[in-house]
């Protein structure tokens, strides 16, 4: 389990869209070249975890226009997800980089690349890759200063580095921007908890994160927002890794 609430899934939506598959299929019957309909249909399939259909939609968009940075990012999301049959971290990194190349000012691609670097860096204890993640988050925040999850995840890196004051600043900034940001609430609560391991935060084993701190927060969040897939995924991960009684 990753230490606390590193955002668990990539951001792939580029705007609010209807979730009715039939709507977009009907649009495509009339306008087969509609990029918006193809993209939104792919998003519907992503939400349903129908990754083969989603992949086909986004690949079609990239084939038509290699500079379609949204479709490039969405393909990265498909390859990143661990429940996807196309899971391939290197391909995910490649697609996120392609999205940034197509649009250097696309904040979400910088965020997604940073989050993926951060996950890998935590598992490998790779300082160089962690520095790459920091650079991605800082670029994200240059482009989008109110990006809540970038602040939260940057704070998490600072926590791992033992830079507790800077971690607190990032968590508090995230909560100031979004008082309902559950990951930042949980991370701040851990920061204020008595230490459960060595003084150096980097040396705290990831499997010793106190679940009793996290689970009630996520249960409370799900009561308020039962359809939030990201919160549900993180809660399910916590419950799957909890010790059996």
Q: What is the pLDDT of residues 109-168, one digit of tens each?
A: 999 999 999 999 988 888 999 999 999 999 999 999 999 999 999 999 998 888 999 999
Q: How far is CA 10 from CA 75, 79, 188, in A?
A: 11, 10, 22
Average pLDDT, the chain: 81
Q: pLDDT exceeding 70 applies to what percent of the chain?
A: 72
Round to whole Å and give the CA distance between 183 and 148.
10
With a cut of 90, say whether residue 207 has pLDDT above it.
Answer: no
Over residues 52-98, the pLDDT tens digits come to: 999 999 999 999 999 999 999 999 999 999 899 999 999 999 999 99
Residue 79 buriedness (CB in 10 A; 0-12 / 13-18 / 19+): buried
With a cut of 90, say whether residue 223 has pLDDT above it.
Answer: no
Q: Which of 34-38, 61-65, 189-193 has the lowest mean pLDDT?
A: 189-193
Round to whole Å and give the CA distance between 185 and 87.
30
* Longest CA–CA separation in the chain, Å: 63
Tokens of 57: 């939609």
With a cut of 60, say whether residue 41 has pLDDT above it.
Answer: yes
Q: How far is CA 239 from CA 8, 89, 219, 235, 243, in A?
A: 15, 25, 11, 6, 9
- The predicted pLDDT at position 176 comes to 96
Q: Which of residues 32 and 10 earns the better pLDDT score?
A: 32
Domains of the chain are 21-241 (1.25.40.10)
Q: Return the half-sphere exposure (C-beta side, CA atoms, 13 A cut-off) of residue 108.
A: 16
How far from the centroid of its chain's Cα atoms is residue 243's Cα?
26
- The predicted pLDDT at position 172 comes to 96
- The predicted pLDDT at position 144 comes to 95
The residue with tokens 């997800």 is 81
Tokens of 73: 């990012």
- The predicted pLDDT at position 163 comes to 93
């Amino acid at each position: 389990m990753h230490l606390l609430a590193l955002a668990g899934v990539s951001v792939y939506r580029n705007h609010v869209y209807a979730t009715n598959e039939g709507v977009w299929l009907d649009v495509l019957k009339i306008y087969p070249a509609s990029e918006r309909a193809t993209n939104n249909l792919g998003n519907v399939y992503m939400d349903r975890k129908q990754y083969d259909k989603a992949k086909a939609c986004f690949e079609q968009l990239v084939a038509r226009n290699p500079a379609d940075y949204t479709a490039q990012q969405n393909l990265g999301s498909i390859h990143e997800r661990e429940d996807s049959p196309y899971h391939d971290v290197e391909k995910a990194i490649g697609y996120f980089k392609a999205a940034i190349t197509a649009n250097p000012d696309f904040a979400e691609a910088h965020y997604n690349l940073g989050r993926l670097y951060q996950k890998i860096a935590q598992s490998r204890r790779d300082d160089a890759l962690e520095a790459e993640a920091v650079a991605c988050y800082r670029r994200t925040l240059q482009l989008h200063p109110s990006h809540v999850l970038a602040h939260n995840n940057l704070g998490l890196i600072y926590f791992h580095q033992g830079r507790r004051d800077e971690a607190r600043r990032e968590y508090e900034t995230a909560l100031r921007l979004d008082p309902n940001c559950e990951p930042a609430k949980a991370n701040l609560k851990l920061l204020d908890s008595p230490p459960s391991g060595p003084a150096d935060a980097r040396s705290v084993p990831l499997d010793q994160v106190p679940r009793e701190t996290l689970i009630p927060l996520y249960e409370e969040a799900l009561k308020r927002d039962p359809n939030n897939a990201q919160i549900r995924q993180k809660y399910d991960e916590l419950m799957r890794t909890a010790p059996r009684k």
